[in-house]
Amino acid sequence: VENGRLDAEFLLAHVLGVARLDLYLQFDRPLGAQELAAFKALLKRRAAREPLQYVLGRTSFRELELVTDSRALIPRPETEGLVEEVLAWFRNRPEAGTGGDGQPDSQGAWGSALDLGTGTGAIALSLLKEGEFSHVVGTDPSREALELAAENARVLSPDHPLDLREGFLFEPLEEGERFRLIVSNPPYVPTGDLDFLQEEIRAWEPRGALVAGPQGMDVLSPLVRQAPAWLEPGGLLALEVGDQQAPEVVGIMEEVGAYRTFRIRPDLGGGQRYVLGVASKGR
C-alpha cells in the first residue's frame, strides 16, 4: 500500500476518535483490547486495497465532509477545481443574477443548475453551499449512488434540498426544463485503460463511474451534443475530462454549432482537464 504508514495513522486516529497529530502527542498511551481489535479490522480492509476513504467512510471535498463508500466514486481534488471554475465564472459575470433573456432573476440568484452524474453529491452540494443557485438538480443512473447522495444532502444541505433524479444523461429531465449551468464529471476512462489503474480504483470503485467505452467518450460525446437543448441561452456547460480528451470535446462543441464560446482550462497540475462552453441558443 502506497503511503502505508500515513494511512495506518489515519485509521488509528479514526478508531481512537482523535486527530492524527494526537497520535504523536499521546505516543505512550497504551491501546485497549477493543481499540486494538477495531484498528486491526480496519487495517485488514486497507491491506486488501480498499481505498482509505471507504474504510474511513468519509472524505473532505472543498467545504464539505462527505460520507463515502463503495456505492459511489470517491470525489477527487481535480473536481474541486471544476467547482472553482464554475463559481469563478458566475461570480465574474456581470449578467449573473439575470435571466438568459437579460431580465433580472426574480430571486437575484444564479438560476438552476444540473450536476449530471452526481455520485456522492460532491459537486451539487458544493454548488448549494458556495453558490447562489436557486435550484440544484443531481442525476445519476446508479440508484445506490443516489441513495448515498441523498444521505449526504440530508446532513449537509437540510435547508436547501438537493433535487435528485435517476437516469442516464438527460433522461431524468422534464420537457421544457432549462438550466443556467450544466456541470459534469462524467465517466471518461477508456475501457482498455481500466487494467492499468491502481487496484484501489479498479477493484473497489464503481465501474460505471469510471469507464465510458473504447475511447472514454461514450458519455462525454452525447452530453456535449445534447446539453444545448437543456441550457438557457448564455448558460454554461462545465466539464471535467480525461488527460487527452479536451481537444476532442472542444471539437464536438464546434461541430454542434450551438456554443457561442468554449475554452479549455488547466487543473492545478497544468493538465487540460476542464472544458467550458457557453450556449448560444436553446433548442
Ligand X SMILES: C[S@@+](CC[C@H](N)C(=O)[O-])C[C@H]1O[C@@H](n2cnc3c(N)ncnc32)[C@H](O)[C@@H]1O
Q: Name which of 205 and 232 has its Cβ closer to ligand X.
A: 205
Residue 56 CB, nearest distance to ligand X (Å)? Answer: 16
Query: 112 or 118: whose CB is closer to ligand X?
Result: 118
If the CB atoms of residues 38 and 201 are measured against ligand X, the closer one turns out to be: 201
Task: Please choose, from the candidates 220, 238, 218, 274, the residue with its C-alpha nearest in 3D space to the C-alpha of residue 93.
Answer: 238
* Closer to ligand X by Cβ: residue 97 or 141: 141
Q: Give least dist CB 273 to ligand X, A.
A: 12
CB of 130 to ligand X, least distance (A): 15
Is the Cβ–Cβ distance between 241 and 188 less than 8 Å? yes
Return the number of the residue (119 or 235) whose C-beta is nearest ligand X: 119
Q: How far is the CB of 218 from ligand X (least distance, A)?
A: 8
The contact set with ligand X (CB under 6 A) reads: 72-73, 75, 79, 116-120, 122-123, 139-142, 145, 168-169, 185-187, 208-209, 219
Residue number with the smallest Cβ distance to ligand X = 117
Q: Alpha helices, DSSP H only, in the chain?
A: 4-16, 20-25, 33-47, 52-56, 77-91, 122-130, 143-156, 199-204, 220-226, 246-256
Residues contacting residue 279 through CB under 8 Å, at least 6 positions apart:
227, 228, 231, 232, 233, 234, 235, 236, 237, 258, 259, 260
CA–CA distance, 94 with 207 (Å, rounded to integer): 41
The Cα–Cα gap between 265 and 82 comes to: 9
- Rounded to a whole number of angstroms, the minimum distance from the CB of residue 187 to ligand X is 5
- Give 112 or 184: the residue with its C-beta nearer to ligand X: 184
User: Could you tell me the CA-to-CA distances from 274 to 5, 108, 189, 264, 268 in Å, in that order?
Assistant: 33, 27, 15, 6, 11
Cα angle 199, 74, 224 (rounded to 5 degrees) comes to 105
CB of 34 to ligand X, least distance (A): 34
